[in-house]
Amino acid sequence: MGQGRVLLAIEGLSKAFGGLWAVRDYRLSLPEGAIYGLIGPNGAGKTTVFNLITGFLKPNGGRIVFAGMDITGWRPDRVSYIGIARTFQLLQLYRTLTVEMNLLIAHHKHSRYGLFVALTGWPSYLRCEREVRTRVGELLEIFGLARYRAARAGTLPYGLQRKLDIACALATEPRLLLLDEPSCGMNPREAEELAHLIRTVKERYDLTLIVVEHRMPFIMGLAERIQVLDHGVLIAEGTPEEVRRDPKVIEAYLGVEDVVA
């Protein structure tokens, strides 16, 4: 449960594409240590919110403050460096490289050591390198990937590829993790296991999370608080129970199957 101070504060966040608002006046006050859910019908603006937070899109207006720093409009690499990691709806793995290489590359992309320092083997780098290997080894264990470490990522069963994708995000040592439909394509048993894994890594690495999901039982069971977007506008926010019973939410989802289940 999230009882900490506010880690991510967003106000008035807006983004338009060709004159249409994909996100309008979005706000969030996310306490450190919390798991929040972000739901809404297709095209509601959920992924756009993630793209704005992580710098893949520049907002037309609004402010994003992370750990007291105004990061509005920062580039993705800077956002990643200060401790925000994300996954994408579509997997971002190097399919022909091994599971372990995917994790090492994910970490190095965010490392403060450049290639020169790595090649010359400075002591501080070697120390860092040991820490990286420890973290990668841990992630392989936690995600049940240890016996696949030398397998090419593209050969793993789909459920494991999705897990590896999350593990790669964690290899960057984030404080805030944004997951975009992490259970997509998983069967119910795999999804349940994933929810358990997310709680495990949250405790293990002191994470704060926002999870975008379509699978209602999954997000209702995982998130302590849920925001609902519809046509780019925040139409509800509350506990899973409050959101489930909110008439505006039920209306937004009318015609969409499997919702307030």
Ligand X SMILES: Nc1ncnc2c1ncn2[C@@H]1O[C@H](COP(=O)(O)OP(=O)(O)OP(=O)(O)O)[C@@H](O)[C@H]1O
Q: Which of 1, 42, 116, 254 binds ligand X (CB under 6 A)?
A: 42
Please, which of residues 76-115 interact with ligand X by CB under 6 A?
A: 89
Q: Which stretch binds ligand X (CB under 6 A): 35-43, 109-117, 188-196, 239-247?
A: 35-43
Selection from ligand X, Mg ion, none that 3 binds (CB < 5 to 8 A by kind) is none
**86 Cβ partners below 8 Å, 6+ apart?**
50, 53, 54, 169, 177, 178, 179, 180
44 binds ligand X (CB under 6 A): yes
Taking every pair of Cα atoms in the chain, the longest distance, rounded to a whole number of angstroms, is: 62
Nearer to ligand X, 42 or 120 (CB): 42
Q: To which residue do tokens 């790669």 refer?
A: 168
| Parallel, antiparallel or unpaired: strands 233-238 and 225-230 | antiparallel
Nearer to ligand X, 31 or 217 (CB): 217
The CA-based angle 12-16-20, given to 5 degrees, is 120
Taking alpha carbons only, the member of 90, 91, 86, 82 closest to residue 57 is 86
Q: What is the dihedral of CA 195, 199, 201, 203, to 10 degrees?
A: 180
Q: Is the sign of the CA dihedral 21, 27, 32, 37 positive or negative?
A: negative
Distance CA 50, CA 175 (A): 15
Q: Which stretch binds ligand X (CB under 6 A): 44-52, 103-111, 129-137, 249-257?
A: 44-52
Least Å distance between CB 44 and ligand X?
4
Selection from ligand X, Mg ion, none that 44 binds (CB < 5 to 8 A by kind) is ligand X
Least Å distance between CB 2 and ligand X?
23
Q: Which stretch binds ligand X (CB under 6 A): 43-51, 129-137, 148-156, 191-199?
A: 43-51
161 binds ligand X (CB under 6 A): no
Q: Which stretch binds ligand X (CB under 6 A): 38-46, 130-138, 142-150, 216-224?
A: 38-46
46 binds ligand X (CB under 6 A): yes
17 binds ligand X (CB under 6 A): yes
Rounded to an integer, what is the distance from CA 251 to the centroid of its chain?
Answer: 27
**Helix and strand tally (H, E) in the chain?**
10, 10
Q: Which stretch binds ligand X (CB under 6 A): 37-45, 143-151, 168-176, 200-208?
A: 37-45
* Binding footprint of ligand X, residue count (CB under 6 A): 11
Written as one letter, the residue type at 110 is H
Report the interface residues with Mg ion, using CB under 5 A: 46-47
Residues forming contacts to ligand X in the complex (CB under 6 A) are 17, 22, 40, 42-48, 89
